[in-house]
Structures are given as C-alpha cells and as structure tokens.
Amino acid sequence: MVRRDKLNHLPERFPVFCQWEITCRCNLRCVMCYTDCFNRPDFIRQELSTPDILRIMDEMADAGTLELCLTGGEPMMRPDFFQLYEHAIHRGFLVTVFTNGTLITEVAADRFAALRPHRIEISLHGLTKETFERITQGPGSYHRCLDGMRLLIERQVPLTLKSTAMTLNQHEILAIKQYVASLGSVGYKLGEEMRPELDGGAGPFYYALSTQALALLNRQDHDLWEASFQLDQTESSPCRSGMHKFHIDAYGMLQLCSGNRDDGYDLRQGSLQEGFYHHLPSFACRWKTPATRSLLHPTIHHV
C-alpha cells in the first residue's frame, strides 16, 4: 500500500482516488437509499457498458490513480462485476468494494480471496433480523448478509462493517459495534449521512436522526465521539474534492464527489485526463470556501 505521507509530494491536483458508482441496480430497497430511484430498467439501460468502463479504468491507471472504490447501488448486481473488479486489480489499483453482502457466495468469496481487495465494506444496519429487514425491505437479506460476512472472514479478506445511524436502528448501533469488535480483525464505521435522492426526492431524510439524538448516541461510546469530533473538524475546512479525489457515476459523468453532481463531464465523449485537469477545476462547490464555525452542523455530508 502507498503510505499517505508519500502523497504529500504529489502535485496539488492529481487524480489519486476515485469513487465509482458503477451501477444503480440493487437487489434491496433500503429505505434511506439515495440511488434506488434510478434502480429502474430505463435508467439501467443507460449505464456504462463493459468496454466503456474498462477503457476509463485504463485511462485512470495511465493517469496515475492509486485507489478505486467500486460502489452502487449494489456493484455485484452487474453481470460483469468480476470482470471489472479483476481488471482493476490487474491494473494495480487499491480496490475497495462497497456492497450489501447478500450476493457474496462461496464462488464470489473465493474470487475475492484469489485477488484480494484493499478492503470490502458491507452495510450492517441492524443486529436483529427485524431491524435489518425493516431497513433493507428484503426478505431473507439478513441471513444472506451474515453468510457473506462469514465467507469473507473465513478467507481473511479485509473487511469493514458499517452502519448508517437512523431512527430505525439507533437502539442497536452500540450493540452492532460491540458485535463487530467480537469478530477480531473486522473494522467498523458509523455513518450519519442522509442525502436527497438522485431525482431530488427527500425520502431518506424521514429516517434521519436529529442533531440531539445523534450527539447523544455518539456520547455513549468513546470511539464514536472521537470520530464525530474529527468529522466536525474536517467539515470546517474548505473542500478539496476534485484536487486528489473525484467521482464517476453509473452513466460516465465525472464529478467532484458523490454529493455534488451539479456539474459533470461526459467520459463517454472525452478522456479522463481532459475531464480531470481541464473541466473539473471549473465545477462549482459550496464547500470550497471556509464556512463560519457553528455549534450546529448538518447531517448531510458530501464526501
């Protein structure tokens, strides 16, 4: 792995890290999901083809990109997922996969073990079947997720579990964290992020915790409290998305980040090099200038 201190010697603008939303397809219908509104045949038909994705990956590798996060939707819903994943590994990327874990079979786990990712992150939003499936709206998804986790742990594939804190699971968050701690080398992350749906809908915010409820939750655990403080400090700084980090959506649009899609450069029509160096710098971002400090901070995060 590339040490972070080595990145200090890179130019101010350099395409180090890409988060790539390779599909909006998903086998679940999580209540707080902001991409599910595009989980429809008419949008799926517009997603990038396999050759387009492989070409853009090659352009990224040639440009010097080091880290690649494959996300969705559910990235493993693409029939060509392992073709894309294995190509990314062979091109030398440190690959992270965001997944709901329910599609990880013995065969899939073996393929991950054969060409190991930098990390796989699985969403574990509930410790009980009732809470988990109330959120995912997928009957049987709880046990399939646990099976996927088990298969990866048995093969010692680097794994992080994460939860989105919301009204439906706030009573289980600390128990989830304790459960993950019992799994040994498995990491844990708590998110508190709610975003508007890609079509502008506000449905996810119905499940958002209030600022007070979130603070109360974080205060009950030293690690969570420290992480929330560090996030608060980070969000008070000017945004640097588009300098070393960038986002690509399922339709080939190059963007500053997954939370800012106001501007985009079409990678179907142009190159990664052209888009990153000549178009991304002109994209507007409300977070690029220092904001006045406030004791209250929104629960919508753009990175």
pLDDT at 1: 46
Most confident of 167-176, 279-288, 290-299: 167-176
User: Would you place residue 289 in the very low, low, confident or very high pLDDT band (cuts 50, 70, 90)?
Assistant: low
The CA angle 245-229-180, to the nearest 5 degrees, is 80
Q: What is the dihedral of CA 301, 161, 66, 2, to 10 degrees?
A: 110
What spatial distance separates the first Cα and last Cα of the chain, rounded to whole Å? 22
Q: What is the structure's pLDDT at 6?
A: 55
In the chain, what percentage of residues exceed pLDDT 90?
83
The DSSP secondary structure of 33-86, one letter per residue, reads: -SSGGG-SHHHHTTSPPHHHHHHHHHHHHHHT--EEEEESS-GGGSTTHHHHHH
Domains and CATH numbers, the chain: 11-282 (3.20.20.70)
Q: What is the pLDDT of residue 302?
A: 39
- Minimum mean pLDDT range among 113-117, 230-234, 241-245: 230-234
287 band by pLDDT with thresholds 50, 70 and 90: confident
* Spatial separation of the C-alpha atoms in residues 100 and 214, rounded to whole Å: 23
Q: What is the dihedral of CA 247, 80, 136, 126, to 10 degrees?
A: -80
Look over the chain and give the mean of its residue pLDDT values, rounded to a whole number: 91
Q: What is the mean pLDDT of residues 281-287?
A: 88
In the chain, where do the E strands start and end?
17-21, 67-71, 94-99, 119-123, 159-164, 187-191, 245-248, 253-255, 265-266
Question: Which tokens belong to 249?
Answer: 């959506």
Evaluate whether 165 touches 57 at the Cβ level (below 8 Å): no
Q: If residue 110 lies in a helix (H) or strand (E), which one and from where to where?
A: helix 106-114
The answer to whether residue 231 scores a pLDDT higher than 80 is no
pLDDT at 17: 97
Query: What is the model's pLDDT at position 292?
Result: 42
